């Protein structure tokens, strides 16, 4: 049986035979058992039309044993271990009581329908687990070490940092590393939720869990198995199963108090009124109906399942919640604070504008700058070198300077760099590279860390959800304001040191989420009401400090995570209200002698199935 559906911690049912993982083999035969019991029930009912009760009783007892022997055994075990007031105990007492007062058909039928409900609930839980189980299946089972042209297949745990592994087409990458092959195409959906394969170039980071799609690739390992992305994900998923939301914790406490109370109430209903008005059999029957209807299965099962299914839905979208508590908390956020560089922006400079001097074309300006910058390893130099056209011009006497570079292009001295280096005045919010050739000003190239494609849409979506976006960055105020204006963010805190981010977050209104991507964001991620790590691939510090991990660099998944969290909370609230309302109505009707055992079964199994169906159906899409 599914652990989450029937584990003691989650459903509050103590020691139910339907409640343990070791009963999975038994669960596979549950449906045939129930069909057999149903056939015996029909045979007993037919025989009862022609024979006396003592001839049909053995058939009914056999049907009861086939349908519910495990439930009865578990009830006895529960009593022996001191936690007898569980669902199995309630079902056993109610059905045995039905036999005692001569309602054989009712006693067997209740047990059959109870078992059928458990079977359907199990299938629903298995389905809701699919998204998270897909993440767990990413754990590697082998790795091929590549040395001197020879491949040796070993367990991933045996591979050391620095060794080279080979990954064949169609295989899952077993360990994190750096791509040594010229290029690669990988299916990253299980890791990031992206449906489109991603292209990689030599030197790019490759993480475990991806599937190599084309030719064999070589990867230099940078993390051992215990530190790999898949292992970290597995640990977080395992921990998430143990962490409960406030609603889940409430349900566990509720079941421990509620169940003994209703058992006591059923006993009072069955045995006190007959002292005054007689008709013991009728009042015992009412007490049994009250007992069956009172089972808290719908509430104690549907709430944890709702959060678990929500986590599965999020995982399919590339969003990993570390526990139901964070789903509950994220649903209530008032403010979403973002780091700028690498979170809302791409984290690398791009040319946004060129201003050639009079008589100079843009192509000439970029041509000269690209030749000089091609010798530098600075990110700004790389952006310019990638944009400009390099040909056979001779580049000599290259030198790195404070604020720029100098070189000779075909023997002519060129200087490219900051306004201070070149003596040019500039008040642009962008990073400027001013170019001089042979003492002549050739023009300026402006670069900026440009916003991610969907960053503006993410900010807009958060506003529609009633969440206030805020930017907190260590960048200079002019660059921060320019980026915020493009994105539609009104509140900006610039030139902030890593240690100061947490102080700013604590000063923001309401429940605050913070999204960041680097080591310098770890304190803020830990200190915010909800920490969201962006682009968790290979960013260990942020990933470990956060409560939610977005497995790629897509800002729009932040409002998506909020939508999922709010939907899950609404579903949990609906299921609690629905289950308790129906049960309260049937309990009153049962005490008044209006409800029968079939209605009591609906109040237990039927309501539980409806609540589970609601949880599963609403977890299929956002």
More confident call, 166 vs 517: 166
Query: Mean pLDDT for the chain?
Result: 80
Position 518 scores a pLDDT of: 62
Q: What does the chain come to in residues? A: 622
Mean pLDDT, residues 226-253 taken together? 62
DSSP state, 512? E
pLDDT over threshold 50, residue 263: yes
Position 191 scores a pLDDT of: 62
Position 102 scores a pLDDT of: 73
In angstroms, the CA 204 to CA 209 distance is 15
Confidence at 11, pLDDT banded by 50, 70, 90: very low
Q: Which residues pair with residue 287 across a beta bridge?
A: none
pLDDT over threshold 50, residue 17: no
pLDDT digits (tens, 9 = 90+) for 578-588: 888 888 888 78
Position 242 scores a pLDDT of: 52
In angstroms, the CA 186 to CA 195 distance is 11
pLDDT digits (tens, 9 = 90+) for 174-208: 999 999 999 888 887 666 545 557 788 899 888 88
Confidence at 135, pLDDT banded by 50, 70, 90: low
pLDDT over threshold 90, residue 144: yes
Sort strands 345-356 and 395-401 into parallel, antiparallel or unpaired: unpaired
Confidence at 22, pLDDT banded by 50, 70, 90: very low
Average the pLDDT over each of 65-69, 412-416, 539-543 and give the range with the smallest value. 539-543
CATH class of 143-227: mainly beta
pLDDT over threshold 70, residue 20: no
Position 16 scores a pLDDT of: 39
Question: Which percentage of the chain shows pLDDT scores above 90?
Answer: 24
Ramachandran class of 104: left when φ > 0, alpha when ψ lies in -120 to 50, beta otherwise: alpha
pLDDT digits (tens, 9 = 90+) for 344-375: 988 778 898 899 999 999 999 999 999 888 88
In angstroms, the CA 507 to CA 470 distance is 12
Confidence at 437, pLDDT banded by 50, 70, 90: very high
In angstroms, the CA 354 to CA 441 distance is 13
- For residue 26 the two structure tokens come to 């038994």
- For residue 121 the two structure tokens come to 């609930």
Confidence at 469, pLDDT banded by 50, 70, 90: very high
440 C-beta neighbours (distance < 10 Å), count: 12
Mean pLDDT, residues 125-134 taken together? 53
Position 536 scores a pLDDT of: 53
pLDDT over threshold 70, residue 554: yes
In angstroms, the CA 135 to CA 518 distance is 23
In angstroms, the CA 593 to CA 107 distance is 18
Position 425 scores a pLDDT of: 84
In angstroms, the CA 600 to CA 606 distance is 9
Confidence at 86, pLDDT banded by 50, 70, 90: low
Position 159 scores a pLDDT of: 92
Mean pLDDT, residues 120-128 taken together? 58
Position 122 scores a pLDDT of: 65
Helix, strand, coil share (%) of the chain residues, nearest 5: 55, 20, 25
In angstroms, the CA 494 to CA 492 distance is 6
pLDDT over threshold 80, residue 129: no
More confident call, 192 vs 337: 337
Nearest to 188 by CA among 542, 533, 551: 551
The answer to whether 326 touches 311, Cβ cutoff 8 Å, is no
Q: In what order do the strands lie in the sheet with 211-212?
A: 198-201, 183-187, 211-212
Domain covering 319-345+452-562 assigned CATH 3.40.50.1000 in the classification = yes
The answer to whether 109 touches 41, Cβ cutoff 8 Å, is yes
DSSP state, 521? G
Confidence at 15, pLDDT banded by 50, 70, 90: very low
Architecture of the domain delimited by 347-451: 3-Layer(aba) Sandwich (3.40)
Question: Which percentage of the chain shows pLDDT scores above 70?
Answer: 80
- For residue 607 the two structure tokens come to 């309501």
Nearest to 574 by CA among 123, 319, 247: 247
pLDDT over threshold 50, residue 128: no
Alpha helices in 532-605 (DSSP H): 540-545, 557-591, 597-601
Identify the burial level of 547 via C-beta atoms within 10 angstroms of its C-beta, where 0-12 means exposed, 13-18 middle and 19 or more buried.
buried
Confidence at 130, pLDDT banded by 50, 70, 90: low
Mean pLDDT, residues 367-392 taken together? 83
Catalytic residue (choose from 122, 339, 547, 553): 339
Query: Which of 149-163, 225-239, 525-539 is modeled with the greatest confidence?
Result: 149-163
- For residue 248 the two structure tokens come to 């889940």
Position 337 scores a pLDDT of: 95
Domain ranges of the chain: 143-227, 319-345+452-562, 347-451
pLDDT over threshold 90, residue 597: no
Torsion (CA) 121, 122, 126, 132 in degrees, nearest 10 = 80
Position 21 scores a pLDDT of: 43
In angstroms, the CA 209 to CA 140 distance is 8
Position 456 scores a pLDDT of: 95
More confident call, 501 vs 543: 501
Position 2 scores a pLDDT of: 35
pLDDT over threshold 60, residue 504: yes
Confidence at 230, pLDDT banded by 50, 70, 90: confident
Confidence at 220, pLDDT banded by 50, 70, 90: very high
Tell me whether residue 547 is one of the annotated catalytic residues: no
Identify the burial level of 264 via C-beta atoms within 10 angstroms of its C-beta, where 0-12 means exposed, 13-18 middle and 19 or more buried.
exposed
Nearest to 218 by CA among 173, 188, 161, 187: 173
pLDDT digits (tens, 9 = 90+) for 266-282: 888 888 888 888 888 78
Position 164 scores a pLDDT of: 95
């Amino acid at each position: 049986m599914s652990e989450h559906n029937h584990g003691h911690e989650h459903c509050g049912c103590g020691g139910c035979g339907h409640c343990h993982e070791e009963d999975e083999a038994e669960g596979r035969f549950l449906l045939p058992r129930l069909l057999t019991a149903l056939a015996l029930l029909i045979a007993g009912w037919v025989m009862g039309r022609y024979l006396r009760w003592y001839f049909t009783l053995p058939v009914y007892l056999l049907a009861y044993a086939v349908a519910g022997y495990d439930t009865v055994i578990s009830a006895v075990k529960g009593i022996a271990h001191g936690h007898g007031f569980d669902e199995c105990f309630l079902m056993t007492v109610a059905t045995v009581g039905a036999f005692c007062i001569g309602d054989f058909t009712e006693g067997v039928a209740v047990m059959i329908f109870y078992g059928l409900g458990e079977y359907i609930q199990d299938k629903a839980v298995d389905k809701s687990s699919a998204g998270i189980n897909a993440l767990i299946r990413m754990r590697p089972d082998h790795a091929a070490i590549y040395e001197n042209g020879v491949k040796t297949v070993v367990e991933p745990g045996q591979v050391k940092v620095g060794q080279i592994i080979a990954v064949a087409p169609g295989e899952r990458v077993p360990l994190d590393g750096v791509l040594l092959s010229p290029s690669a195409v990988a299916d990253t959906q299980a890791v990031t939720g992206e449906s489109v394969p991603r292209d990689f170039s030599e030197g790019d980071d490759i993480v475990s869990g991806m599937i190599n799609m084309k030719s064999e690739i070589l990867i230099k390992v940078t993390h051992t198995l215990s530190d790999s992305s898949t292992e970290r994900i597995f640990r977080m998923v395992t921990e998430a199963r143990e962490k409960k939301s406030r609603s889940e914790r409430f349900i566990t406490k509720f079941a421990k108090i509620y169940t003994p109370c209703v058992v006591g109430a059923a006993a009072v209903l069955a045995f006190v009124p007959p002292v005054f008005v007689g008709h013991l059999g009728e009042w015992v029957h009412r007490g049994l109906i009250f007992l069956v209807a009172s089972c808290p299965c719908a509430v104690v099962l549907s709430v944890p399942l709702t959060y678990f299914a929500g986590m599965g839905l999020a995982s399919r979208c590339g969003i990993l919640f570390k526990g139901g508590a964070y789903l509950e908390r994220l649903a209530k956020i008032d403010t979403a604070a973002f780091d700028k560089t690498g979170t809302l922006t791409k984290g690398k400079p791009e040319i946004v504008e060129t201003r050639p001097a009079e008589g100079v074309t843009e192509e000439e300006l970029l041509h000269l700058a690209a030749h000089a910058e091609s010798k530098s390893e600075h990110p700004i130099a790389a952006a310019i070198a990638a944009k400009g056209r390099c040909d056979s011009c001779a580049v000599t006497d290259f030198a790195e300077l404070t604020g720029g570079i100098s070189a000779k292009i075909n023997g002519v001295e060129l200087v490219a760099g900051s306004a201070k280096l070149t003596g040019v005045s500039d008040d642009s919010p962008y990073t400027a590279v001013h170019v001089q050739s042979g003492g002549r000003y050739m023009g300026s190239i402006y670069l900026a860390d440009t916003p991610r494609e969907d960053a503006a849409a993410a900010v807009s979506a958060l506003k529609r959800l009633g969440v206030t976006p805020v930017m907190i960055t260590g960048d200079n105020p002019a660059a921060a304001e320019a980026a915020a204006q493009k994105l539609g963010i009104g509140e900006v805190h610039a030139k902030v040191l890593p240690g100061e981010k947490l102080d700013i977050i604590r000063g923001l209104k309401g429940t605050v989420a913070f999204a960041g991507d680097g080591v310098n964001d770890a304190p803020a991620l830990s200190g915010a009401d909800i920490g969201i790590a962006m682009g968790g691939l290979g960013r260990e510090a942020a990933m470990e400090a956060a409560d939610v991990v977005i497995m790629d660099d897509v800002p729009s998944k932040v409002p998506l995570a909020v939508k999922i969290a709010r939907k899950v909370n609404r579903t949990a609230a609906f299921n609690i209200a629905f289950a308790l309302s129906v049960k309260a109505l049937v309990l009153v009707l049962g005490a008044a002698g209006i409800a029968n055992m079939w209605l009591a079964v609906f109040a237990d199994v039927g309501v539980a199935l409806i609540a589970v169906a609601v949880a599963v159906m609403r977890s299929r899409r956002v």
